[in-house]
C-alpha cells in the first residue's frame, strides 16, 4: 500500500511497459508465424480454404478468450487489487505460450490461444489503471503513453525473433520465458493506495460489471469509451492484415508479407502512442490530442486507397504511417480508466480495450460478409465504405465523450438504479 506519487520513469511505469511489451509480443505472434505454424501442424498451405478455416478458428478463439478474460480480470482487479491481475494474468498466458510451443493439431492450437487470450486480456487494463492511480494527474497521460508506446514494440520484437530463429515453436516458448522473467520483476511494484482506500469502505460495490448497465449515464460513458477506439482495429485487423490482397487490387503483382506490414504498423503505433502523451500534455487535453490523431488517420486512409500507393515500398510506408496515426491506444484506454470511479476503474480499463478487439469480427462481418459476399462489392470498395462508417461512428462518439485530463480519480461510483 502506498500513497506516494511516482514519476513517469518509476518502477511501476517501467514494469507495466515491459508487461505490455510481452503482452503484444504474444498477442501478435500468431499473425506473424501463421503460415509456418499452420504448416507445422499439418495444414496444407496450398489449400486456401483449409488455411482460411484453420487461421480463422485460431484467431477467433484467441479473441473470444480476450473478451472473456477482460471481464474476469477487470472484476478481479477491482475486487482483489490491480497487482492480483498483473501476477495472475501473466502466469496464465506464460503457461499457455509454453503449451502453444508443443501443439500438434488445429484444435489444440485454438485451445492454447484461447487460454492465452484469457490471460492476455488483463495486462494492459490493470497496468494502465495502476499507473493512472500512482502518478499525479499532471503526469499520468505521459506515463500511460510510455506504457503503451514501449509495449507496442513487442510486435516488432516478435517479428525479428521469428526472422532470427525461423522456429515458430521456439518463438512461443521465448514468449513464455519472457513472462516468467516479468513475473519476478513485478515483486517490487506497489499496489494502488486508491484501491486500498476503497477496499476499506463498507457498502461499496467493487468490480460489478452490471453497474455499467444499471445507470444510463454510466452506460453512455462506457459505450462511447468503446466506440472511440474502433479505428485501431479497422486499420490493423483489415487494412494491414490484408495488405497483400489490397496491394493486388491497387497495383497488381506484389510481394507484401502481412507479418512485415504488421511490424511496420506497430512500430508506427508505438511512436504515436509515446507522442500523443506529450501532445495531450501540451494541450492539457485528451480530446484535442485525440482529434488531431483522428485527422491524421483520415489523411493516411485516403493515401492508402489513392494512386500514391502503387508499390510494395509505399504500401509498407503507408502501413507504418497508418499505425502512427492510430497510435492513440494509450490515451483511449487512459480515458476509459479516468471516466469511472476507483471501484469500477480496473473493470472499465480492462474490458473496454478488449471490447474493441472483440469488435473486429463484427467489422469483418460487415466488410466481408455484407459488402463483399452479399452485395458483391470489391475488396477496395468494401474497405473504403467500412472505413467511412467506422470513422463516422467514432467521430460522433468522440464528440459526446467527456474531457478527462484534469479529472481527480479518487472517487467511487455509487450503486443506484437506471436514471438519467
The pTM of this model reads 0.86
Burial category of 187 from C-beta neighbours within 10 Å (exposed 0-12, middle 13-18, buried 19 and up): exposed
Residue 172 shares a structural domain with residue 235: no
Residue 293 shares a structural domain with residue 382: yes
Residue 114 shares a structural domain with residue 262: no
**pLDDT confidence of residue 418:** 46
Q: Summarize pLDDT for 195-236 with one digit per residue, the tens.
A: 768 877 777 788 888 899 988 999 999 999 999 999 998 999
Cβ-based neighbour number of residue 174 at 10 Å = 21
Find the angle CA(222)-CA(225)-CA(231) to the nearest 5 degrees.
145
Residue 101 shares a structural domain with residue 184: yes
C-alpha closest to that of 62 among 286, 354, 346: 354
Q: Summarize pLDDT for 24-76 with one digit per residue, the tens.
A: 999 889 988 988 999 999 988 888 778 878 887 898 899 889 889 999 999 99
Torsion angle (degrees, nearest 10) of CA 293, 299, 301, 307: -160
Residue 167 shares a structural domain with residue 281: no
Query: Which single residue is written with the C-alpha cell 464528440?
Result: 399
Asked if residue 224 lies in contact with residue 400, where contact means CB atoms within 8 angstroms, the answer is yes
Residue 163 shares a structural domain with residue 250: no
Q: Quick check: is 217 in a domain?
A: no
Q: Quick check: is 207 in a domain?
A: no
Q: Quick check: is 419 in a domain?
A: no
* R_g over Cα of the chain: 21
CATH code: domain of residue 14: 1.20.1250.20
CB within 8 A of 288, min separation 6: which ones?
279, 280
Q: How far apart are CA 66 and CA 62, in angstroms?
A: 6
Residue 107 shares a structural domain with residue 153: yes
Residue 175 shares a structural domain with residue 305: no
**pLDDT confidence of residue 131:** 87
Q: Quick check: is 278 in a domain?
A: yes
Residue 60 shares a structural domain with residue 149: yes
Question: What does the block give as the cell for 142?
Answer: 505521459
Number of domains in the chain: 2
Q: Quick check: is 307 in a domain?
A: yes
Residue 34 shares a structural domain with residue 180: yes
- The conformational region for residue 200 under phi > 0 = left, psi -120 to 50 = alpha, else beta, is alpha
Q: Quick check: is 204 in a domain?
A: no
Q: How far apart are CA 64 and CA 31, in angstroms?
A: 16
Spans in the chain with pLDDT lower than 70: 1-5, 190, 192, 196, 415-420
C-alpha closest to that of 344 among 233, 178, 198, 227: 198
Can you give the residue range of the structural domain that contains 381? 230-327+359-401
C-alpha closest to that of 334 among 141, 100, 139, 89: 141
Start-end of H helices in 229-308:
230-234, 243-251, 258-283, 286-304
**pLDDT confidence of residue 57:** 87
**pLDDT confidence of residue 228:** 96
Residue 258 shares a structural domain with residue 113: no
Residue 235 shares a structural domain with residue 363: yes
Amino acid at each position: 500500500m502506498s500513497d506516494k506519487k511516482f514519476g513517469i520513469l518509476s518502477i511501476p511505469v517501467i514494469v507495466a511497459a515491459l508487461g505490455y511489451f510481452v503482452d503484444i509480443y504474444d498477442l501478435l505472434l500468431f499473425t506473424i508465424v501463421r503460415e509456418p505454424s499452420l504448416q507445422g501442424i499439418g495444414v496444407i498451405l496450398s489449400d486456401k480454404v483449409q488455411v482460411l478455416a484453420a487461421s480463422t478458428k485460431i484467431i477467433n478463439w484467441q479473441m473470444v478468450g480476450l473478451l472473456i478474460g477482460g471481464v474476469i480480470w477487470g472484476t478481479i482487479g477491482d475486487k482483489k487489487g490491480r497487482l492480483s491481475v498483473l501476477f495472475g494474468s501473466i502466469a496464465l498466458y506464460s503457461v499457455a505460450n509454453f503449451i502453444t510451443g508443443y501443439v500438434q493439431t488445429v484444435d489444440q492450437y485454438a485451445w492454447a490461444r484461447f487460454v492465452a487470450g484469457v490471460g492476455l486480456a488483463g495486462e494492459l487494463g490493470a497496468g494502465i489503471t495502476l499507473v493512472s492511480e500512482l502518478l499525479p494527474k499532471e503526469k499520468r497521460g505521459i506515463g500511460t503513453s510510455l506504457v503503451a508506446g514501449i509495449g507496442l514494440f513487442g510486435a516488432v520484437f516478435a517479428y525479428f525473433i521469428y526472422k532470427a530463429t525461423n522456429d515458430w515453436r521456439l518463438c512461443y516458448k521465448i514468449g513464455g520465458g519472457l513472462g516468467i522473467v516479468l513475473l519476478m520483476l513485478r515483486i517490487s511494484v506497489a499496489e494502488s493506495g486508491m484501491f486500498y482506500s476503497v477496499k476499506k469502505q463498507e457498502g461499496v460495490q467493487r468490480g460489478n460489471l452490471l453497474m455499467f448497465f444499471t445507470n444510463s449515464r454510466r452506460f453512455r460513458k462506457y459505450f462511447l469509451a468503446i466506440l472511440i477506439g474502433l479505428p485501431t482495429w479497422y486499420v490493423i485487423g483489415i487494412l494491414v492484415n490484408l495488405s497483400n490482397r489490397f496491394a493486388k487490387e491497387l497495383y497488381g503483382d506484389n510481394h507484401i508479407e502481412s507479418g512485415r506490414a504488421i511490424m511496420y504498423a506497430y512500430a508506427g503505433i508505438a511512436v504515436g502512442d509515446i507522442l500523443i502523451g506529450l501532445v495531450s500534455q501540451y494541450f492539457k487535453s485528451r480530446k484535442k490530442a485525440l482529434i488531431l490523431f483522428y485527422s491524421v488517420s483520415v489523411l493516411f486512409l485516403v493515401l492508402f486507397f489513392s494512386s500514391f500507393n502503387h508499390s510494395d515500398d509505399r504500401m509498407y510506408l503507408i502501413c507504418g504511417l497508418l499505425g502512427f496515426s492510430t497510435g492513440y491506444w494509450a490515451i483511449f484506454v487512459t480515458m476509459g480508466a479516468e471516466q469511472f470511479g476507483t471501484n469500477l476503474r480496473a473493470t472499465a480499463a480492462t474490458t473496454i480495450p478488449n471490447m474493441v478487439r472483440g469488435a473486429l469480427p463484427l467489422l469483418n462481418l460487415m466488410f466481408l460478409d455484407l459488402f463483399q459476399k452479399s452485395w458483391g462489392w470489391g475488396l477496395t470498395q468494401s474497405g473504403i465504405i467500412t472505413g467511412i462508417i467506422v470513422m463516422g461512428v467514432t467521430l460522433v462518439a468522440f464528440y459526446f465523450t467527456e474531457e478527462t485530463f484534469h479529472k481527480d480519480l479518487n472517487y467511487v461510483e455509487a450503486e443506484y438504479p437506471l436514471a438519467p
